[in-house]
A and B are shown apart, each in its own frame.
Chain A
Amino acid sequence: MIRSLIVAASRCLCIAAGLIGSANLGSALALDVNVGVIRVDYPVLAPVSRFDRKPDNLGFAGASLGNQDNETTGSFLGHSFSFETRSTTPDKLEADTADLIENGISMIVVLGHGNDVLKVADAAGAGALIFNAAAPEVALRSESCRSNLLHVAPSRAMLTDALAQFLVWKKWTRWLLISGSNPDDQQLAEAYRRSAMKFGTEIVEERIFEDTGGSRRSDSGHVLVQRQIPVFTQETEDHDVVLAVDESDVFALYLPFHTWTPRPVAGSGGLRPVSFHAAHEAWGATQFQRRFEKQNGRYVRPEDYNVWVAFRVIGEAVSRSSSDDVAVLRDYILSDAFELAAFKGQKVTFRPWNGQLRQPVLLTDSKITVSVSPQEGFLHHRSPLDSLGIDEPESACSAFAN
């Protein structure tokens, strides 16, 4: 009770301070920016690890913090921010999008599979700006790109390149690739094959771990895992590292310590490339973690961080351009002038040829930040960040051509 009173009091002060501030800025216009967040919920099995259970406010919590940060900043400029959330299903997705657009919301952050993100982008129309905060498909940024669709989530290619660079730096260049049998796993495997070719590493052998369904939580399941995984990983070609390619969350977490040959595991288990995680502390991230945990009472997830980034991209564009016009904001976001600090040690910006956010990728063992890519020595004529993912000459995206 006392705490909420204090919060309320400081809000009032904040607004008062903001008025004084805006009076002095002269040119600032009063703006009211409302952002939508759509999360598509799919029927899923329980995760292998209960640490990976999805919180009810997944993504929305990142929106809440991002909106609060935008409001604080906006209070000094006469800009106010608000947001609306929709958790929905694939069949109601287009209706929910239309509903937001009808309510005058033309900037929407989406958490969903790639084909559903495209549905939102197409239903929202050219006058809207959609932010993809979860879908990793490379095609969304290439042949299937949309001019009204920006990507704050890293693509599979960015994630696999980030891990590949680290493995090259370690000189662990002989990879045993074990992939899941589902289509998403196979797309991820393709991204690793591309990374291997790009950075000159060798996939010495590939195996497929069939998803045969079944219970993941049976009593003493570890007894079987302990016997099955060594057998599955017997008699392989010599390798330095095992790449677990398992977006479906079926087997990757079982590989570390159980492989026949003692080798480190990376990919979907072991050392994982992620946009963010809750133990990351460098570059002021501790403050971000503390603010998030105080507001939401739990650790941050990559989806929350991605939504927060999308909100801050919008907030920053509104602050700098003093506009809430979607076309003006889109131009600014894709321009050289745009930059954002996002707790990753360097500014993040957008690739103007496909709307992908350039960003460092964290490598985590799920306890700490083990490393951050791009790795030292991987150069690019534009920015080392463009050594991650599909580069301009490789991109089949034409929607962003002027």
Chain B
Amino acid sequence: MFTPSTLAAKVTLLAGFLCLSPGVFLAPSAYANKIYVSNEKGNTVTVIDSGTWEQVTEFPAGNRPRGIGISPDGDHLYVCASDDDTIKVFDAHTYEFLWSLPSGPDPELFVISPDGAKLYVSNEDDNLVTVVDTQKKTIVAEVPVGVEPEGMAISPDVRFVVNTSETTNMAHFIATEDYKIKHNILVDQRPRYARFTNDGKTLYVSSEIGGTVSVIDMHGETGPELTQKIGFEVAGVQPEWLQPVGMRITADNKWLFVALGPANRVAVIDTASNEVVRYVLVGQRVWQLAFTPDQKYLLTTNGNSNDITVIDVAKQEAVKSIQVGQQPWGVVVAPD
């Protein structure tokens, strides 16, 4: 067991060493960042250093940790402890438990407002989206949504928070000014995740059981408009197992990466044509994704093989896998 202070020293040393001899190891990110992985079954968070790709530590994070995020300043780590009905806040540097935020029951996923002031949380059991003030530690609003709310996304202009409801099969567009639903769009079965392009023009919604990603034009005639559905096909894999879940879009909006769950692959989609150009084989039951801040690497949580895969974003290839705790679910990388 490392103590936090010796650990920090070790991390710095290793990072420095690597910068001097990049050829020997997998090229590190421009900066070494901490990667935090929530382990749903192990009830822990695994911390990995992106300079060495080595595990730094693993610490207890409450019961059934799933959704995970970090404050924009990189100081606070937020973890949905689903079975504790709270969001636990940890010091992102020392891993010390700081306090719990009221989240509503069974929090699963959340998004953080760009200023870090608010969390928008989906509460699966109660058909609610809860808005939490991170400073005052209070609930600001509860928005009733469809059955089994899950995916959460925030538009780059912060006007809309989007929630997907897994049994109702809708994307709900909640205005951040009054917390009222302004639009609803039906998508395919069991919508899991939503992600805006960085220019806010397009929203992607993944439907796990429907096996599609819905493409929604945010500037349709009467508001957001469903324009297209992207399907998946992999030779030798039963279509039933192509189940899109977590998604990430590159900063230039050109590439959409989609985790395909039990198909053990990440699909790479060219957003110009909305066609899949490649499937990257990763670990088993790939769930959520996160970029390193320089976007050189994409990290995937693989729930059934208990590891994360590192994908080289430019090459669109898997380059490494790293063992983590039991049943990794979510991943977040500390900002530079």
Contact = CB atoms under 8 A, between A and B. Distances in A.
B49 interface: no
A339 B208 CA distance: 12
Contacts of A198: none
A73 B169 CA distance: 8
Contacts of A77: 184
A341 B180 CA distance: 27
B127 A72 contact: yes
B189 A73 contact: no
A73 B167 contact: yes
B186 interface: yes
A341 B172 contact: no
Given A17-B143, A72-B146, A72-B147, A320 B181 contact: no
Contacts of B147: 69, 72-73
A208 B22 CA distance: 74
B307 interface: no
Interface in A253-296: 284, 287, 290-291, 294
B284 to A, nearest CB: 14
B146 A73 contact: yes
Interface centre among B145, B182, B209, B211 (most CB of A within 10 A): B209
A101 interface: no
A380 B181 CA distance: 44
Interface stretch (A18-26, A121-129, A159-167, A326-334): A18-26
Contact of A20 (B124, B148, B168, B181): B181
A339 B124 CA distance: 22
A347 interface: yes
A81 B178 CA distance: 28
A76 interface: yes
A201 B127 CA distance: 48
A384 interface: yes
A291 B125 contact: yes
Contacts of B148: 284, 287
Nearest to B167: A69
Contacts of A13: 142-144
A347 B210 contact: yes
Contacts of B209: 339, 341, 346-347
Nearest to A312: B167
Contact of A339 (B189, B222, B238): B189
A24 B186 contact: no
B184 A24 contact: yes
B118 interface: no
Contacts of B165: 73
Interface string B187-210: 011100000000000000000111
A10 interface: yes
A321 B190 CA distance: 18
A210 B218 CA distance: 68
B144 to A, nearest CB: 4
B190 A341 contact: yes
A195 interface: no
Contacts of A340: 189
Contacts of B167: 69, 73, 312, 341
A72 B209 CA distance: 20
Contacts of A284: 148, 166, 190
A14 interface: yes
A282 to B, nearest CB: 11
B114 interface: no
Contacts of B127: 14, 72
Contact of A76 (B128, B166, B184, B240): B184
B170 interface: yes
Nearest to A379: B238
A384 B166 contact: no
A312 to B, nearest CB: 8
A319 interface: yes
B210 A72 contact: no
Contact of B166 (A17, A320, A341): A341
A320 B189 CA distance: 11
A38 to B, nearest CB: 25
A26 B142 CA distance: 26
A341 B189 contact: yes
Contact of B222 (A20, A24, A73, A294): A24
Interface centre among A26, A287, A312 (most CB of B within 10 A): A287
Contacts of A72: 127, 146-147, 168
Contacts of B180: 17, 20
B181 A76 contact: yes
Interface string B131-144: 00000000000111
A384 B238 contact: yes
A173 B170 CA distance: 46
B58 interface: no
Contacts of B145: 17
Contacts of B143: 13, 17
Contacts of A320: 186
Contacts of A21: 172, 181, 183-184
B124 A10 contact: no
Interface string B153-191: 000000000000111111010000000111110101110
B4 interface: no
Contact of B170 (A76, A345, A384): A76
Contacts of A294: 125
A20 B143 CA distance: 13
A297 to B, nearest CB: 15
Interface in A61-75: 69, 72-73
Given A10-B126, A72-B147, A339-B209, 6 more contacts: A20-B180, A77-B184, A287-B125, A291-B125, A341-B189, A347-B211
16 contacts: A10-B142, A17-B144, A24-B182, A69-B147, A73-B167, A76-B168, A76-B184, A284-B166, A287-B166, A290-B125, A341-B167, A341-B169, A345-B240, A347-B189, A383-B240, A384-B238
Interface of B: 106, 124-128, 142-148, 165-170, 172, 180-184, 186, 188-190, 208-211, 222-223, 238, 240-241, 262
Interface of A: 10, 13-14, 17, 20-21, 24-26, 69, 72-73, 76-77, 284, 287, 290-291, 294, 312, 316, 319-320, 339-341, 345-347, 383-384
Question: What 9 pairs between A and B have smallest CB-CB spacing?
Answer: A341-B209, A73-B168, A346-B240, A341-B189, A341-B190, A14-B144, A21-B184, A76-B184, A17-B181
